[in-house]
Amino acid sequence: MRQLKLIVTCIALLLFFYSCTSNQKSETPKTDSVEANIKMYTHIWDEIINHGKLDMFNDSNFTTDVVMHAHPDIVGIDSARAYYANYLTGFSNIQFYIKDVFGQGDKLVKHWEFKGKHTGTFFGIPATGKDVDVEGATLVKMRGGKIAEEQDFFDNYDFMKQLGLIK
């Protein structure tokens, strides 16, 4: 009788552990897709900002209707490329760091730092020769492994102060 209880207990434990393992396996693709999105996303922005590769704005990396929330919103790949070209022509010695990024489902959050010297025209602002060091966060929505939507948050007042445009 004692041996029968031991066998039943062992079988129950095996079934319990098997069911836990099965549940973990069903969640793996979600985790894998988040990790794949993070890897793709960090690579794309490193190439665009640090290496000046505006050609990374394409339909392999961004949805055709990508939205960059700004004032007004930037919609579409060509508009997003033109918007970010301002950073590449407005600043030299660019260093863009993704300090942290995490996600859940099709959403990512990025903590970043941007450094550069304002040596060119930036959204109509003539070069000031000033160095900037700005940190911010971006909320991201992915769709089908592509960047579909972004909204940046940073201290624009501090940014303008660093450029010497306000006191």
Asked if the structure places residue 20 within a domain, the reply is: no
Three-state secondary structure call for residue 152: strand
Does any domain span residue 15? no
Domain count, the chain: 1
Residue 126 contacts residue 138 (beta carbons within 8 Å) = no
* Domain assignment present for 14: no
For the chain, the average pLDDT equals: 88
**Residue 159: DSSP 8-state:** H
Contact of 108 with 150, CB cutoff 8 Å: no
Query: What phi and psi, each to the nearest 5 degrees, are found at residue 91?
Result: -130, 145
Task: Classify residue 63 as exposed, middle or buried by CB count within 10 Å of its CB (0-12, 13-18, 19+).
Answer: middle
Residue 117 lies in a domain: yes
Domain presence at residue 6: no
Residue 33 has pLDDT above 90, yes or no: yes
pLDDT at 30 over 70: no
Q: Which pLDDT value is given to residue 71?
A: 87
In a domain? residue 13: no
- pTM listed for this prediction: 0.80
Assigned domain for 152 exists: yes
pLDDT at residue 7 in the model: 55
Structural domain containing residue 53: 29-162
**CB atoms closer than 10 angstroms to residue 43:** 12
Mean pLDDT of 2-23: 49
Average pLDDT over residues 2-12: 51
Could you tell me what percent of the chain has a pLDDT over 70? Answer: 81
- Domain CATH code at residue 158: 3.10.450.50
Q: What's the average model confidence in pLDDT over 56-81? A: 97
- Confidence category of residue 11, pLDDT binned at 50, 70, 90: low
How does pLDDT run across 111-157, given as a tens digit for each residue? 999 999 999 999 999 999 999 999 999 999 999 999 999 999 999 99
